[in-house]
Amino acid sequence: MSNQFRDHLGRPIIAVTGMGVITSLGQGLEDNWAALTGGRSGIHEITRFPVNELSTRIAGTVDFIDLPVANAVERSYAMARETTLEALAQAGLSGDFNGPLFLAAPPVEPEWSARFELADRAGPAEEPGDAYDRFLAAMRERPDPVFHEAVLFGSISERLADRFGTRGLPVTLSTACASGATAIQLGVEAIRQGRTERALTVATDGSVSAEALIRFSLLSALSTQNDPPEKASKPFTKDRDGFVIAEGAATLVLESLESAIARGAKVYGIVKGCGEKADSFHRTRSSPDGGPAIATIRAALEDAGVGEEAIGYINAHGTSTPENDKMEYGAMLSVFGERLKSIPVSSNKSMIGHTLTAAGAVEAVFSLQTILTGTLPPTINYQNPDPSIELDVVPNVKRAQQVSAVLSNSFGFGGQNASLVLAAEPR
């Protein structure tokens, strides 16, 4: 067995042969990268629903994709379809994909418009709290298969599986803010297991609605600095006050390096290692000592078979919440020690906001693009540094710098953490 295609543990090396991305900055890798390296923000005032009385009125919603019906499932599917089309075209693959599908997708619930519609066609209230009894009576009179399909968590992957001819039962997953990275990790594992030569890993989130926004607001997780919107997300600064909710999607075509080379595919980079560790501290807060985040980063480095000195740039989780940025800094400091000061660390979220379920994959695509182009995207809105966080955040302006390996962090709400080590194609 040739070892040019095997890693330090004798496993197949995983190549990325196709990438696609959508964020509030636009559609497609090229446009996104131009905006991202130009330091442009995609955060804007919300127009999807009225926001006058809400404390947060801004988001990084994606409002430029055509939808048959405006709901979270249609939007999430449409973005996933578009990024997958882009990634497969880049990979030079057409026809049935013939590998497994791993999809990170938001948990969906019926839209409020659907509840209002049911209430309209049901009778009036007979007693407080009886809306669902009336909804049921209305459903008995006239079933609504569209309502059913719209609330099934498996409906997005079903459509992607049919559209792209993936193999087997697709996995739909959610590990909160780490979901996108987990999807990639599942694809990596499947190829390493020898179950497949290629895997389609997709992450999408088009679920910004009034209720989603208000739920995060009630947990004091969102920035309320609405004006101007593009200045709200300011990771690692002293006046950061929460994340900015956003939408987006990304697709990565993963392939064993051997099969990629054999078919003459262009290799955009390597997924060298994945690490994960769950937190048992609290439902919304990370362990203050950063233990699980530290373990996650270390696990990713170990899986990649590299020491901390190999990492030339860190694509931070960097949500711009007071707590995450402090905890993430502490975790990085304890892994990288004094050298951390000399490793550039930037947060894409300063420009695209927090794309939640999609974030891990969107940021993996940008990490690979960083390696490919030798350009570090900046952390914008870095005007007032937090003195307790001593980082080179690539402040405000992009930087030309070649890097061969990147660490991309995703630390989730609910204790789920994942880190990826992405690297240049081996020479």
Partner 1 sequence: MAKSENDVVITGIGLVSSMGVGREAHEALILGDHAPAPIVETERFAPYPVHPLPAIDWSQQIAKRGDQRQMENWQRLGVFAAGLALDDAGFKDDAEACASMDMIVAAGGGERDINVDSMIVDEALKRNDREALLNQKLTTELRPTLFLAQLSNLLAGNISIVHKVTGSSRTFMGEEGAGVSAVETAAARIRAGQSTHALVGGAFIAERLDIILMVEAIKGHQTGAWSPIWARDKDHGGGMIMGSVGAFLILESRAHAEARGARIYATIETVEGDRGNRAEGLLEKRLERMVEGAKPELVMSGTTGFHDLAAREKAFFEKTFPNAAIRGFGGLIGHSVEAQFTAGIGLAAMALGAGKPVAAFDTDHEKAMTKPASTAIVTTIGHQRGEGIALLAANA
CB of 266 to partner 1, least distance (A): 28
Query: Of 3 and 52, which CB lies nearer to partner 1 in the complex structure?
Result: 52
Q: Which is nearer to partner 1, 44 or 115 (CB)?
A: 115
Minimum Å gap between C-beta 318 and partner 1 is: 21
Find the binding residues for partner 1 in span 332-391 (CB under 8 A): none
| Residue 169 binds to partner 1 (criterion: CB under 8 A) | yes
Residue 281 found at the interface with partner 1 (CB under 8 A)? yes
Is residue 284 part of the contact set for partner 1 (CB under 8 A)?
yes
Q: Determine the Cα–Cα distance for residues 239 and 234; give it in Å rounded to an integer.
A: 8
3-state helix, strand, coil in the chain (%, to 5): 40, 20, 40
Which amino acid does the sequence have at 317?
A: H
Does residue 286 belong to the site contacting partner 1 (CB under 8 A)?
A: no
Q: Is 65:100 a contact under the CB 8 Å cutoff?
A: no
> How far is it, in rounded angstroms, from Cα 163 to Cα 142?
30
Q: Which two tokens stand for residue 322?
A: 């007071």
By CB under 8 A, residue 172 contacts partner 1: yes
Segment near partner 1 (CB under 8 A); pick from 36-44, 65-73, 261-269, 277-285: 277-285
Q: Which of residues 288-307 bind partner 1 (CB under 8 A)?
A: 292
Report the sign of the C-alpha dihedral through residues 273, 308, 410, 392, in that order.
negative
The answer to whether 171 contacts partner 1 (rule: CB under 8 A) is: yes
What is the chain's alpha carbon radius of gyration, rounded to the nearest angstrom? 21
Task: Give, in order, the Cα–Cα distances in Å from 35 to each of 43, 104, 212, 251, 381.
Answer: 12, 25, 27, 19, 15
Closer Cβ to partner 1, 113 or 402, answer by number? 113
For partner 1, the binding residue among 2, 53, 66, 338 (CB under 8 A) is 53
Residues 304-323 that bind partner 1 (CB under 8 A): none
| 304-327: burial string, b at 16+ Cβ within 10 Å, e else | bebebeebbbbbbbbbbbeebbbb
Active-site annotation, residues: 177, 317, 354
The residue range among 325-333, 347-355, 360-368, 413-421 that interacts with partner 1, by the rule CB under 8 A, is: 413-421
Q: Spell out, one character per residue from 137 to 156, where the chain touches partner 1: x when CB under 8 A holds, - when not.
A: --xx--xxx-xxx-xxxx--
Contact residue for partner 1 among 283, 307, 387, 400 (CB under 8 A)? 283
Between 115 and 399, CB nearer to partner 1: 115
CB of 95 vs partner 1, minimal distance in Å:
17
Binding mask 192-231 for partner 1 (x = CB under 8 A): xxxx--------------xx--xxxxxx------------
Of residues 98 through 117, those in contact with partner 1 by CB under 8 A are: 105, 107-109, 112, 115-116
- Choose, by CB under 8 A, the member of 31, 63, 133, 323 that binds partner 1: 133
The residues, any chain, with a CB within 8 Å of residue 66's CB and separated by 6 or more, are 78
| Cα gap 79→159, rounded to integer Å | 12
Of 21-29, 86-94, 166-174, 234-242, the window that binds partner 1 (rule: CB under 8 A) is 166-174
Tokens of 222: 């969102």
CA distance 122 to 184: 45
| Residue 426 sits in the site that holds partner 1 (CB under 8 A) | no
**Judged by CB, which is closer to partner 1: 118, or 203?**
118
CB of 369 to partner 1, least distance (A): 27
Decide whether 91 or 271 has the Cβ nearer to partner 1. Answer: 271
Pick from 7, 197, 279, 425 the residue near partner 1 by CB under 8 A.
279
The full DSSP string for 6-39 is B-TTSPBPEEEEEEEEEETTEESHHHHHHHHHTT
**Identity of the residue, 139 or 267, whose beta carbon is nearer to partner 1 in the bound complex:** 139
| Site for partner 1 contains 6 (CB under 8 A) | no
Minimum Å gap between C-beta 367 and partner 1 is 21
Question: What HEC string does 294-313 produce?
Answer: HHHHHHHHHHHCCCHHHCCE
* Residue 264 φ/ψ, nearest 5 degrees: 75, 25
The CA distance from 321 to 291, in Å, is 19
The residue from 231, 272, 277, 398 that contacts partner 1 (CB under 8 A) is: 277
Q: CA 347, 351, 353, 359: dihedral to nearest 10 degrees?
A: -60
Token pair, residue 8, equals 């330090």
Closest contact distance (angstroms) between CB of 142 and partner 1 is: 10
Classify 43 in phi/psi space as left (phi over 0), alpha (psi -120 to 50) or beta.
beta
Interaction residues for partner 1, span 242-271 (CB under 8 A): none
